[in-house]
């Protein structure tokens, strides 16, 4: 990889870990942007818009653009409906009850800003979650784990036991698709 150090426009600890897996070190500069979806916005387009907006927001604050700026956005989609991070325990419980026993998509877009332009790739994974007993979901919500995660679960934690099958990218579900990330960083 040409550049070993990048700026990561994200406060997600999973993204730092996944970048380390590629041998990429990062300086963390989180982007605070409005993450609301537009009316009727397609989930796959939504994550791409947000990933690009996060990278561009950080690019706008920096005088020197020597290092690539990488950002990502992950969302769970049930049909055209976007399930982002739950606002509270009740919303987490409602999301998990809907995902339990069904198939959903996880979209993660990764964007890299370098040399005055932003490039973005999308990873989409189909995830099948088993029917999870209500009391198990309640314990999970009480643990606090769902609160910073799209769709209110983390495949990398104990909810991993409920995932019967995925078709796509495990790292994409976790928040940073390694294949697409490496492609974007190689391009520079």
What residues make contact with ligand TTP under the rule CB under 6 A?
10-12, 14, 30, 72-74, 76, 85, 106, 148-151, 153-156, 173-175
144-150 long-range contacts (CB < 8 A, ≥24 apart) are 146/86, 146/92, 146/95, 146/96, 147/85, 147/86, 147/92, 148/12, 148/85, 149/85, 150/74, 150/75, 150/76, 150/83, 150/84, 150/85, 150/106
Minimum distance from residue 157 beta carbon to ligand TTP (Å): 8
Task: Exactly one of 32, 34, 42, 73 is catalytic; name it.
Answer: 73
The residue among 2 and 8 lying less far from ligand TTP, judged by its C-beta, is 8
Residue 73 known to be catalytic: yes
CA–CA distances in Å: residue 10 to residues 14, 97, 111: 10, 28, 11
Distance of closest approach, residue 149 Cβ to ligand TTP, in angstroms: 4
Nearer to ligand TTP by Cβ, of 2 and 160: the residue is 160
Comparing CB distances to ligand TTP, the nearer of 2 and 170 is 170
Beta carbon of residue 150, minimum distance to ligand TTP (angstroms, whole number): 4
- What is the spatial distance between Cα 55 and Cα 70, in angstroms, rounded to a whole number? 6
Residues whose CB is less than 8 angstroms from the CB of residue 21 and which lie 6 or more positions away in sequence, other chains included:
171, 178
Q: Using CA of residue 10, residue 12, residue 13, residue 18, what is the dihedral sign? A: negative
User: Which residues, listed in sequence order, are joined to residue 121 by a DSSP beta bridge?
Assistant: 110
Residues tagged active-site = 73
């Amino acid at each position: 990889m040409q550049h070993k150090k990048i700026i990561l426009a994200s406060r997600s600890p999973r993204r730092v870990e996944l970048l380390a897996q590629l041998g990429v070190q990062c300086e963390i500069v989180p982007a605070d942007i409005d993450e609301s979806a537009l009316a009727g916005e397609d989930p796959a387009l939504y994550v791409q818009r947000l990933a690009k907006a996060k990278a561009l927001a950080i690019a706008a604050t920096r005088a020197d653009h020597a290092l690539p700026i990488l950002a990502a956005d992950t969302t769970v989609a049930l049909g055209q409906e976007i399930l982002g991070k739950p606002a509270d325990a009740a919303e987490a419980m409602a999301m998990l009850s809907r995902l339990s026993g069904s198939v959903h998509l996880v979209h993660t877009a990764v964007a890299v800003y370098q040399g005055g332009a932003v490039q973005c790739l999308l990873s989409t994974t189909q995830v099948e979650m088993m029917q999870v007993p209500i009391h198990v979901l309640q314990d999970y919500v009480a643990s606090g784990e769902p609160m910073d995660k799209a769709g209110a679960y983390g495949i990398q934690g104990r909810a991993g036991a409920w995932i019967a099958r995925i078709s796509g990218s495990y790292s994409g579900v976790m928040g940073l698709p390694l294949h697409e990330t490496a492609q974007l960083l190689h391009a520079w």
